[in-house]
Structure 1
Amino acid sequence: MINGLQRIAYFPASFFGMIMGVTGLSIAFLQLSKTAPIFTNVAIGNVIIAAVLMVVLLGVYLYKTIRFFPEVKAEMKHPVKMNFIPAISISLLLLSVAFYALDLVQISQRLWIIGAVMQISLTYWVLHNWVHHDFFTPEHSSPAWFIPIVGNIVVPIAGVHHAPMELNWFFFSIGLVFWLVVKSVVINRIIFHAPMQARLIPTLFIFIAPPAVGFISYLALNDNQLNQFAMVLYFFGIAMTLLMLVSLHKFAKLDFALSWWAYTFPVAAMVIASYIMAAHSGQIGFQYIAYFLHTLLMLLIVYLAYKTGQAVKNKQICVDH
């Protein structure tokens, strides 16, 4: 039998998808509190929860790195699991956004620097593996491939306050152009190759994230000026959200896995984008879209937290696959 400390050897980087979802919910509440100040304390409470979870998970993963480094190396070389490691840097970048919104600028800046350096390092590590590999097959590709590359689009959201604009455009350009490239690869794989493993199917929700986050980031880079390209990004995010919603019956048949947390951040990104779209367009319809998705996101996170707790209790997490 594997004891508690030994189980940490199988602690997956995909756990950080939880931080992305909870932090996304925090930022959504921060957006909502601009028009409904009653939710300010809820937003602050969510940021605290996200920060505490981040400290705990980072501590566990650091212990894994020190104590079980061969397992970390194996994860970094795994054609699927490797894509979840940059969820760590994206979580730091999202926390930077949340802390900046709370006027904790120094904390935000430090988190942004660490997150941005880690993000670009992991980006080139993934690109190196893609270019100089001897093990990838079409079946290895999945929407999780968006995480390490398209995560660069997150950088400018807080980065416009902490770094030169040219550097922020550099990150945005990497994420946007590779979004189009990776999307083509993944769609080809989904349509013309063997079906994805059941536990990876929830990652289809990640299709929502690049256009939604791209919309938020693009506005930040353009002094919050709503233009046609921003609208293209927003409405494509809406289109992908509708595609996922009409496919819910497919997702409902799946057994729980940590990959279910992949549902949360894309929905959170669409919530935030809708609040911002409502504010810039003056159209109340976008506010209702945000309310609906925000409610769905809260219910989803509560449910996933319960399912994760049950899985931990039943020792179904941190097992060798």
Structure 2
Amino acid sequence: MHLPERLQYFPISFFAMIMGLAGLSIAWRKAQQVLGISPALDSLVGLLAGLAFIALAGLYLGKFLNYPDAVEEELKHPIKLNFFPTISISLILLSVIALPYSHGLAAALWIVGSLLHLLLTQYVLNSWIHHEHYEIHHINPAWFIPVVGNVLIPITGMDLGYPEISWFFFSTGIIFWLVLFTIIFNRVLFHHPLPDRLMPTFFILIAPPAAGFIAYVKLNGDIDNFARVLYYGGLFLTLMFFTQGRRFVKLPFALSWWAYSFPIAAITIATLLMFERTGAEMFLYLGISLLALLSLIVCYLIYRTALAVRGGKICQPE
């Protein structure tokens, strides 16, 4: 199948790669701040994330212009629909990366990303509420993606001087996180298990409390008891999935494997932030270990994705 034809099947879920790369960049920046070492690797990974976003955005724009029916089909799909906010989340994360280098660029990325995410969240919620085709087996942890974006917005928003807007998005994210968390556990416990292709999305459960902790500390200015509830909730979920590691490593590779990256990045950054604010050395050792693991995972995901693209296993009809 030639490239123009394969473009028809270019998946919206590809943008999860940007979230993983951006998360790794921000995690390395936090580690460099905590350890007092000179900036280096975070800038390189951040640049890679930005270039990858431009490339993926160009490809998906080509799909939209040449195959609008295929894009519309994804927008109506009960699972793929939830990956559209990865575009706005990518812009929000890129604003975090850009802030130390260019206030203007960071502000532009944040404003566009936040507005787009608000529109996409409203669209997704409208689809959920006024649906005609959703069933309980359609729900999976990828449905958290629109929620995760909301809790990320305060990270740059507070530095740009928008506290009330930041609280608005944070509150929205936390409320819907609690609602979806309950629904997803009901689906997992009392209905058929997730198919293998979606199993990696379980790691997305880590992201809302871990990213919520980071955003809440930014909003609140300090670590209080609610912050601890968020952090330790995310840490418990991380440990729970790590103890099930054998199940995950046996899965066949798919783009859904990128769901491992950003949640681990979020809990890594949260752990390093806990060390920065509390001074407890256990958080330093845990944070460095998670950072090393995250770096290995992202490198491996890049390698496997490149092999899959080269082998023509991606952008194929399902």
- Asked if TM exceeds 0.5, the reply is yes
Give 1:195 shift: 1.4
Q: Which amino acid aligns with 2:316?
A: V
> What is the RMSD of the two structures over their aligned residues, measured on CA atoms?
1.0
1:309 to 303, 306, 310: 306
**d(CA) in 1 for partners of 2:294, 2:159:** 28
Paired residues, number = 318
1:1-321 mapped onto 2 (5 Å cutoff):
2-100=1-99, 102-223=100-221, 225-321=222-318
Contact kept, 8 Å, 1:32 with 1:39, in 2: the verdict is no
Give 1:161 shift: 2.2
**d(CA) in 2 for partners of 1:26, 1:237:** 20
Which runs of no fewer than 5 residues in structure 2 stay unpaired? none
**d(CA) in 2 for partners of 1:280, 1:231:** 12
Contact kept, 8 Å, 1:150 with 1:178, in 2: the verdict is no
Give 1:37 shift: 4.5
Contact kept, 8 Å, 1:29 with 1:39, in 2: the verdict is no
Give 1:53 shift: 0.5
TM-score calculated relative to the size of structure 2: 0.98
- Deviations 1:275-318 (Å, cap 9, x if unpaired)? 11100001111011110110000110111111111111110001
**d(CA) in 1 for partners of 2:101, 2:308:** 37
Which runs of no fewer than 5 residues in structure 1 stay unpaired? none
**d(CA) in 1 for partners of 2:286, 2:206:** 15
Give 1:36 shift: 3.4
Q: Which amino acid aligns with 1:53?
A: A
Q: Which amino acid aligns with 1:137?
A: E
**d(CA) in 1 for partners of 2:287, 2:194:** 30
Give 1:150 shift: 3.2
- Deviations 1:241-299 (Å, cap 9, x if unpaired)? 00110010110111000000000000000111111110000111101111011000011
Contact kept, 8 Å, 2:18 with 2:52, in 1: the verdict is yes
**d(CA) in 2 for partners of 1:33, 1:163:** 25
Q: Which amino acid aligns with 2:50?
A: A
**d(CA) in 2 for partners of 1:35, 1:199:** 37
Contact kept, 8 Å, 1:150 with 1:174, in 2: the verdict is no
Give 1:160 shift: 1.1
Q: Which runs of 4+ in 1 moved over 3 A?
A: 35-39
Q: Which amino acid aligns with 2:242?
A: L
- Deviations 1:5-44 (Å, cap 9, x if unpaired)? 1101111111111110010000011111113354511111
Identity level (%): 44
